[in-house]
DNA sequence: TCTGGGGTCCTAGGACCC
DNA sequence: TCTGGGGTCCTAGGACCC
């Protein structure tokens, strides 16, 4: 009697990816706390992109201001981010993953999903790890699940350099007692809102009433949160090539901008850079959105639709200026951004 | 502590139309 | 003169993720 081979989802996640790439070309830094971010100067505005495991021991975390990282770890080595090097390393890793017989979905620079059919997922996961390490000298962790949600959470639990399986078999046991923000899709804000409803664990969220959640989070999101707590997710692993919906450029200034003319000049020049970047893609822009962050940390966005989809620099710049006109530029500005939305 | 830069998706409210 | 109910589109903002 033939039995069909079971399907699993793997989430492959590189360990301290960016720091690891830097360590490959600066082996003398191995074992030292390394922090990558900004222009590599921790006295300037900027945040941590990735911290090596040694730096994490001092409490340095990604997303943290570089100045804070410096206070926590004076002896850390600070390096500027080098996106081109990370992209190149990422391409190598993805090529290895693509060579496995699986549905492959690239989910960012340092992570991917594989949908595989196997009787022995654990063994296959170790083979994936070994293949990546052998070809690129980069370590990764592999989460095994029956869907992307389970696999994604499992890879975190596998870190660093391990394999972990999280399926309906052990979901309740592993996840039930954890706070809801252990789930992919629930962050600090939603966790706080859930706590206001008296929901403090994944198990409690799984047992909550959909109507109550819908009232608080909206008709789609509310019930979706509960399904996450049950370990359910129906987003398929998709090998469809990635098609960007939009492209943006933004910049935080070391010194705040104080006049509307300065802001206008920066928006204009960002729009020009953006058009330069997307010119080769052949995607037409339908709308331009401008983002302004005022002092102290107030972010506002306004957009302007374009009459016809276009790639014309002048029209896109003009759209950005029209969007900018909707702002009240009365406070100092610390960031401006321009986003181009593509025709769909 | 003082908060980057790049994205995606969802929601709610207003405009508009029938 | 005052006026319902529903659908769709647009926009801004919230939340999340890497």
pLDDT along chain A (344 residues), means of 10: 88 96 94 93 91 94 92 94 93 96 94 97 98 97 97 96 97 97 94 94 96 91 95 92 91 93 95 93 92 93 92 93 93 94 90
Strand C footprint nucleotides (protein C-beta < 7 Å)? 10-18
Nearest protein residue to nucleotide B11 (CA to C1' distance) is: A218
In whole angstroms, give the CA distance from residue A320 to residue A275.
12
pLDDT at residue A314 in the model = 93
pLDDT at residue A329 in the model = 92
A33 touches strand B (CB under 7 A): no
Catalytic residue among A105, A111, A115, A165: A111
In whole angstroms, give the CA distance from residue A215 to residue A194.
12
Q: Are A333 and A295 in contact (CB under 8 A)?
A: yes
CA-to-C1' distance for A189 and C14, Å?
Answer: 10
pTM of the model: 0.93
> Please, what is the Cα angle at A270 between A322 and A109, to 5 degrees?
125
């Amino acid at each position: 009697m033939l039995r069909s081979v079971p399907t699993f989802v793997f989430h492959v996640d590189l360990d301290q990816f960016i720091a690891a790439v830097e360590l490959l070309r600066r082996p003398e830094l191995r074992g030292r706390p390394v922090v990558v971010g900004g222009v590599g100067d921790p006295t300037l505005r900027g945040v941590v992109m990735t911290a090596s495991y040694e730096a994490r021991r001092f409490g340095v975390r990604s997303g943290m201001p570089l100045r804070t990282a410096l206070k926590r770890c004076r002896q850390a080595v600070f390096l500027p981010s080098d996106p081109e090097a990370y992209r190149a390393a990422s391409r190598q890793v993805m090529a290895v993953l693509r060579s496995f017989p699986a549905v492959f979905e690239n989910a960012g620079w340092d992570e991917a999903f594989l949908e595989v059919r196997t009787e022995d997922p654990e063994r296959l996961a170790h083979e994936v790890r070994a293949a990546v390490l052998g070809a690129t000298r980069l370590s990764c962790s592999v989460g095994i699940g029956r869907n992307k949600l389970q696999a994604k959470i499992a890879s975190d639990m596998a870190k660093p350099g391990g394999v972990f399986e999280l399926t309906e078999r052990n979901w309740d046991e592993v996840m039930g007692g954890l706070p809801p923000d252990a789930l992919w899709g629930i962050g600090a804000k939603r966790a706080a809102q859930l706590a206001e409803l008296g929901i403090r664990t994944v198990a409690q969220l799984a047992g909550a009433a959909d109507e109550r959640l819908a009232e608080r989070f909206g008709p789609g999101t509310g019930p979706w949160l509960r399904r996450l707590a049950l370990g359910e997710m129906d987003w398929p692993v998709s090998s469809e090539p990635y098609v960007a919906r939009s492209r943006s450029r933004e910049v935080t200034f070391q010194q705040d901008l104080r006049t509307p003319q300065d802001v206008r000049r920066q928006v204009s020049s960002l729009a020009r850079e953006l058009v330069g970047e997307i010119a080769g893609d052949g995607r037409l822009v339908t709308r331009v959105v401008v983002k302004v962050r005022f002092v102290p940390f107030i972010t506002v966005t306004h957009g302007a639709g374009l009459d016809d989809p276009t790639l014309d620099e002048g029209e896109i710049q003009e759209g950005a200026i029209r969007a900018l006109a909707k702002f009240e530029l009365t406070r100092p500005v610390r960031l401006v951004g321009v986003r181009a939305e593509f025709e769909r």
